[in-house]
Amino acid sequence: MAEAAEENTARLSPEDEKLSIGANLAYGLQHVLTMYGGIVAVPLIIGQASGLTPADVGLLVTASLFAGGLATILQTMGIPFFGSRLPLVQGVSFSGVATMIAITGHGGIQAVFGAVIAASLIGLIITPVFSRVTRFFPPIVTGIVITTIGLTLMPVAAGWAMGGNRSAPDFGSQANILLAAATLMIVLLLSKLGSAAISRLSILLAIIIGTGIAYAAGIADFSRVMNGPLVALPQIFHFGYPVFDTAAIISMCIVIMVTLVETSADILAVGEIVGTKVDARRLGDGLRADMLSSILAPVVGSFTQSAFAQNVGLVAVTGIKSRFVVATGGLFLVALGLLPIVGRIVAAVPSSVLGGAGLVLFGTVAASGIRTLAKVDYENNMNLIIVATSIGFGMIPIASPGFYEHFPAWVITIFHSGISSAALMAITLNLLFNHLTTGNSDQQSVFVAGTERLIHYQDIAGLHDGDYFLNGKLYDANGSEVPLIPAEAH
């Protein structure tokens, strides 16, 4: 019996290891703390962009915690055809923020929920064939999209730093901006001076410390935190029934494509970290869990769900590979989602504090995209112009928000979002230059020529085998100098 038990233990995959209850609770809480700042940031952004009251913003926050918890449990524990059964934390995806902000400006938050449901359903349907589609989303496309996500969120961080409410008399005041600057400095100091654990939690800790400073200065108002129930189940369609707008759905489909690519990368990465082979079936199960969670999330008032990359990094750093640890973290998220008071506390955090932290948080997203673009090959191809054009196109609605105001509503909905604009351009140009090569000129543009040293074929056509240059002179294979015709003689 003992030998059989040892054999079963040896066969046990690293992600199936079961730790003690205390270890599960401790490491599960660590996962929650690592991603907490990210999971609450999205509902805060969308809630404020939609003009919701602080109480309703609080409900968005708790709904996102609840939905993220259930999605995490589904991904880690799994049911037939759904869930990778790997240590992956799920939560609201940052990739759709800019697009959802654009949708709220034309259809309200109900249109956001409708677009998320419809686009996620489409994502679920195409999951079986997505492995064939991923070749159209190479690092050059995902890098452009991720970079643009970070850049398009910078105006949000700036608006928060100025106070959040543009109609408020203190919007842009020195007090608000100095509070944002203080929060930013705290993030940087904690990242530099703290331990590894403190460094990873620097944004969350800076928000807490910054809020304390604001409260001491009389800027933070927590008087309404106790106005409402302490414990409550998420309300079904509290913000109204979803509205299904065609343009909004098309725009959100781009986000879903990006989400599928990002989640695929996270599943493959965590599989490599854990030491477990991820085959097509396991990848498909993980993606289906992503899409099912995203379909159901708007029912309780949340948005698209995806794997959190920072928690993949945490698995690598800690070496704790058990999926049961992450499932415990999912239970923590569900519990927090049943506490509306948590959402009201988060909603009461001064916007200036969020602005200081958001500068780093959103900048990190952009930096991640730049890091992805650094892996792209730019030699003898048109990748440089693809990056330049796509990011430039994505920046148009950020630099000039009224650029498309005279176009039809569906055009505005799709292209008013920098991420949608950049993604469409990146996908189109990548197909045009890197896949549909028929008709490509052998005389490449100045953008290619600028990437590295090039020599035309006619310049070397007169050379023979064995010819070589030495000290500016040309010699043949026998060592005899070959006369060079001066340029003016041509």
Contact assessment for residue 205 and residue 356, using Cβ atoms and an 8 Å cutoff:
no
Q: What is the mean pLDDT of residues 167-181?
A: 88
Q: What is the mean pLDDT of residues 419-440?
A: 80
Q: What is the mean pLDDT of residues 353-379?
A: 82
Q: What is the mean pLDDT of residues 216-237?
A: 81
By C-alpha distance, which of 313, 442, 317, 433 is closest to 383?
433
- Whole-number Å distance between alpha carbons of 161 and 91: 25
Q: What is the mean pLDDT of residues 56-74?
A: 90
- Whole-number Å distance between alpha carbons of 415 and 409: 10
The secondary element (H helix, E strand) that includes residue 30 is helix 21-49
Q: What is the mean pLDDT of residues 36-46?
A: 81
- Whole-number Å distance between alpha carbons of 199 and 429: 39
Structure tokens at 329: 């973290």
Cα angle at 53 between 42 and 417, to 5 degrees? 40
- The reported pLDDT for the residue numbered 149 is 75
User: 315 versus 317: which is more confidently predicted?
Assistant: 315
Q: What percent of the chain has pLDDT over 70?
A: 87
- Whole-number Å distance between alpha carbons of 90 and 65: 10
Q: What is the mean pLDDT of residues 218-247?
A: 83
- The reported pLDDT for the residue numbered 5 is 47
Q: pLDDT tier at 452 (50, 70, 90 boundaries)?
A: low
* 166: pLDDT strictly greater than 50: yes
Q: pLDDT tier at 201 (50, 70, 90 boundaries)?
A: low
| Three-state secondary-structure class, residue 316 | helix
* 124: pLDDT strictly greater than 90: yes
Q: What is the mean pLDDT of residues 456-471?
A: 73
Contact assessment for residue 334 and residue 187, using Cβ atoms and an 8 Å cutoff:
no
Structure tokens at 343: 């959402």
- Whole-number Å distance between alpha carbons of 295 and 113: 9
* 11: pLDDT strictly greater than 50: yes
User: 295 versus 316: which is more confidently predicted?
Assistant: 295
Q: pLDDT tier at 330 (50, 70, 90 boundaries)?
A: very high
Identify the weakest region by mean pLDDT among 32-36, 70-74, 175-179, 305-309. 32-36
| Three-state secondary-structure class, residue 481 | strand
- Whole-number Å distance between alpha carbons of 166 and 381: 45
User: 7 versus 201: which is more confidently predicted?
Assistant: 201
Helical packing angle, 54-77 and 340-347, nearest 10°: 120
pLDDT digits (tens, 9 = 90+) for 87-110: 899 988 777 787 888 888 878 899
Is the pTM of the predicted complex or chain greater than 0.75? Answer: no
* 33: pLDDT strictly greater than 80: no
pLDDT digits (tens, 9 = 90+) for 273-309: 787 887 778 888 999 999 999 999 999 999 999 888 7
Beta strands in 206-319 (DSSP E): 305-307
By C-alpha distance, which of 281, 373, 374, 272 is closest to 313?
272
Q: pLDDT tier at 442 (50, 70, 90 boundaries)?
A: low
* 436: pLDDT strictly greater than 90: no
Q: pLDDT tier at 315 (50, 70, 90 boundaries)?
A: confident
Contact assessment for residue 226 and residue 384, using Cβ atoms and an 8 Å cutoff:
no
* 128: pLDDT strictly greater than 70: yes
* 444: pLDDT strictly greater than 60: no
By C-alpha distance, which of 254, 299, 261 is closest to 102?
254
User: 234 versus 390: which is more confidently predicted?
Assistant: 390
Q: pLDDT tier at 9 (50, 70, 90 boundaries)?
A: very low
* 112: pLDDT strictly greater than 90: yes
CA 34 to chain centre: 15
* 172: pLDDT strictly greater than 80: yes
pLDDT digits (tens, 9 = 90+) for 391-402: 999 899 888 888
